[in-house]
């Protein structure tokens, strides 16, 4: 079976947006405690941050981190997490049925972001709280000084403001599971009022309104429309969340999850543009895909059920990812890159331990899940402009999405370095596809690298005992001859080509 792809550097979607390589740290399970933060760990630095996790975060190529939730934020009091650690209260965290010690808060997050080299993205509690508390946090975090809350920050040891510019106006407010869940009209108004007031303090903020928790939500489409009708002029982005799995045993559809993401993005863009038309505005809203990943319910490894216990940092949804999951993650990144013109931010959820590319053991090692690799390679290679491509591919029949191309791809071209990167997946479980890539319109003459994720055992995983069971492997089939690159994509595989 064969496929073909034509590339032309003149056909551009948009510049590669580094913010697409974001991640997410929530006060949930062991993402913060014994994930990124573990004073007393052999690798802990003077702030209690695990250096092994910091190193892996940098290797992953994460550009931005959303914090502190997630469902957690909808019951969170930010004041609990600032000031002297010994005075911080322990609280019930209703979202994850745990006890929050507040030993990690805003100051720690700011320092950790500095060390990890990532941009902070801060979520506000619009579940149990509202405009005033959002303004208080903004004043504490961003105002230089000379007011009660900015002076309190200085007193807490932070002379310079944190300067957080990107804020989420709540989290998943469309979900009945959310603390303080609202109707679209209620939430849209609260988002508008919060955004309006925050902009009176600082005009250069970027604000994200909550969109849908998934494309399957009963309110999907109308939620975005109704929320944006209330707050369009005050916000920059609308969020989208999506998690995929093959729990029903339908691996064929699971491998085509990026088709769902494509349709999700297209539908939200259409809805936002519809509201723009109604409002007769030329302003364009972009998508903040600030939670996306593979997430299993049943197959979640080492998950403590909530039971009656209220524990500190219990194990929650510590999914163990296999080769198929890594191929899907690579494909979801292809979808996000392809939509670089309308996706302003994206965050793989989450960063450590909780459905995460990085795993740790308390007092033990840290390792890369299978899904770490396509993320790190894509973040490392994507540069310059995202290119619109012409792809011919055999198709596969899926129960969930109908007939879809078995190959999916995206390319980026960096004029400055002359480097071309091509990211490809073969979503078929049946057999390989030989693809011919026409590069004759590009200046490339050399294959620098051809790395992929593929394994004869699609269920193979990385564990503390075997952390490198699944790593990227060289694809030796790649050839470049007379303006054509040929490469064989094995069944269920993800591949990245670096050409120059």
Asked if residue 156 lies in contact with residue 82, where contact means CB atoms within 8 angstroms, the answer is: yes
C-beta of 213 vs 370, nearer to ligand AHR: 213
User: What is the smallest separation between the CB atom of 13 and ligand AHR, expressed in angstroms?
Assistant: 28
Burial (0-12, 13-18, 19+ Cβ within 10 Å), 186: middle
Which one of the listed residues 172, 224, 230, 318 is annotated catalytic? 172
C-beta of 71 vs 360, nearer to ligand AHR: 71
C-beta of 26 vs 455, nearer to ligand AHR: 26
Q: Which residue in 138, 330, 169 sits closest to 239, CA to CA?
A: 169
Query: What is the b/e burial string over 435-464, where b = at least 16 CB atoms within 10 angstroms of the residue's CB?
Result: bbbebeebebeebebbbbbbbeebeebbee
Which residue's Cβ lies closest to ligand AHR?
70
C-beta of 172 vs 414, nearer to ligand AHR: 172
Rg (CA), the chain: 22
From candidates 9, 29, 68, 70, binder to ligand AHR by CB under 6 A: 70
Q: Could you give the residue ranges of the DSSP H alpha helices within 88-130? A: 106-116
245 makes contact with ligand AHR (CB under 6 A): no
Select the span of 69-77, 81-89, 198-206, 299-307 touching ligand AHR (CB under 6 A). 69-77
71 makes contact with ligand AHR (CB under 6 A): yes
Asked if residue 173 lies in contact with residue 123, where contact means CB atoms within 8 angstroms, the answer is: no
Site string for ligand AHR, 288-307 (x = CB under 6 A): ---x----------------
User: What is the smallest separation between the CB atom of 317 and ligand AHR, expressed in angstroms?
Assistant: 7
Of 170-209, binders to ligand AHR (CB under 6 A) are 171-172
User: What is the smallest separation between the CB atom of 26 and ligand AHR, expressed in angstroms?
Assistant: 5
Residue 172 annotated in active site? yes
Q: Which residue in 276, 347, 342 sits closest to 60, CA to CA?
A: 347
Angle, alpha carbons 299-28-80 (nearest 5°): 170
User: What is the smallest separation between the CB atom of 202 and ligand AHR, expressed in angstroms?
Assistant: 26
69 makes contact with ligand AHR (CB under 6 A): yes
Asked if residue 354 lies in contact with residue 314, where contact means CB atoms within 8 angstroms, the answer is: no
- Count of residues engaged in binding ligand AHR, rule: CB under 6 A: 11
100 makes contact with ligand AHR (CB under 6 A): no
From candidates 7, 16, 26, 470, binder to ligand AHR by CB under 6 A: 26
Select the span of 66-74, 180-188, 391-399, 446-454 touching ligand AHR (CB under 6 A). 66-74
Of 446-485, binders to ligand AHR (CB under 6 A) are none
From candidates 53, 327, 349, 383, binder to ligand AHR by CB under 6 A: 349
> How far is 164 from 374, CA to CA, in rounded Å?
29
Q: Strand 385-387 and strand 12-15: pairing?
A: antiparallel
CA distances (Å), 164 to each of 109, 138, 295, in order? 11, 8, 29
> How far is 194 from 80, CA to CA, in rounded Å?
21
Asked if residue 31 lies in contact with residue 353, where contact means CB atoms within 8 angstroms, the answer is: yes
Q: Going along 7-48, which residue ranges are E strands?
A: 12-15, 22-24
350 makes contact with ligand AHR (CB under 6 A): yes
Residue 133 annotated in active site? no
Q: Which residues bind ligand AHR (CB under 6 A)?
A: 26, 28, 69-71, 171-172, 213, 291, 349-350
Active site residues: 172, 291
């Amino acid at each position: 079976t064969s496929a073909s792809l034509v590339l032309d550097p003149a056909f551009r979607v948009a510049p590669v947006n580094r913010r697409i390589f974001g991640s997410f740290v929530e006060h949930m399970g062991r993402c913060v405690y014994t994930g990124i933060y573990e004073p007393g760990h052999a690798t802990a630095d003077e702030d209690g941050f695990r250096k092994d996790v910091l190193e892996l975060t940098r290797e992953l190529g994460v550009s931005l981190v959303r914090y502190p939730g997630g469902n957690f934020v909808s019951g969170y009091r930010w004041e609990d997490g600032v000031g002297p650690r010994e005075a911080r209260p322990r609280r019930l965290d209703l979202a994850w049925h745990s006890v929050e010690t507040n030993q990690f808060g805003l100051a720690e997050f700011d320092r950790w972001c500095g060390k990890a080299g990532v941009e902070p993205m801060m979520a506000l509690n619009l579940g149990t709280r509202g405009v005033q508390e959002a303004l208080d946090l903004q004043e504490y975090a961003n105002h230089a000084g000379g007011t009660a809350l900015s002076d309190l920050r200085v007193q807490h040891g932070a002379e310079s403001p944190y300067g957080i510019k990107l804020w989420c106006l709540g989290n998943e407010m469309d979900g009945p599971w959310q603390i303080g869940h609202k109707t679209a009209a209620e939430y849209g108004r609260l988002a508008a009022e919060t955004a309006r007031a925050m902009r009176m303090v600082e005009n250069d903020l970027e604000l994200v309104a909550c969109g849908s928790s998934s494309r399957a939500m009963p309110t999907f489409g109308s939620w975005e429309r109704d929320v944006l009708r209330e707050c369009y002029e005050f916000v920059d982005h609308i969020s989208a969340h999506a998690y995929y799995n093959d729990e029903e045993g339908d691996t064929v559809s699971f491998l085509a999850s990026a088709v769902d993401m494509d349709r999700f993005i297209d539908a939200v863009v259409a809805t936002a543009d519809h509201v723009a038309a109604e409002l007769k505005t030329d302003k364009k809203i972009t998508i903040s895909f600030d939670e996306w990943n593979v997430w299993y319910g049943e197959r979640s490894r080492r998950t403590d059920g909530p039971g009656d216990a209220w524990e500190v940092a219990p194990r929650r949804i510590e999914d163990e990812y296999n080769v198929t999951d890594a191929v899907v993650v690579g494909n979801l990144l292809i979808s996000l890159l392809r939509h670089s013109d309308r996706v302003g931010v994206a965050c793989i959820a989450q960063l450590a331990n909780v459905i995460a590319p990085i795993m740790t053991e308390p007092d033990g090692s840290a390792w890369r899940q299978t899904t770490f690799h396509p993320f790190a390679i894509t973040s490392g290679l994507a540069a310059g402009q995202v290119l619109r491509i012409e792809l011919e591919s055999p198709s596969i029949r899926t129960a969930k999405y109908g007939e879809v191309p078995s190959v999916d791809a995206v390319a980026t071209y960096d004029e400055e370095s002359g480097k071309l990167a091509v990211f490809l997946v073969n979503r078929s479980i049946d057999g390989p596809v030989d693809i011919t890539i026409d590069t004759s319109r590009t200046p490339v003459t050399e294959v620098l690298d051809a790395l992929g994720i593929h394994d004869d055992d699609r269920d193979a995983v990385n564990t503390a005992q075997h952390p490198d069971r699944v790593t990227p492997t060289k694809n030796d089939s790649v050839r470049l001859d007379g303006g054509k690159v040929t490469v064989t994509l094995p069944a269920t595989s993800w591949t990245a080509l670096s050409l120059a």
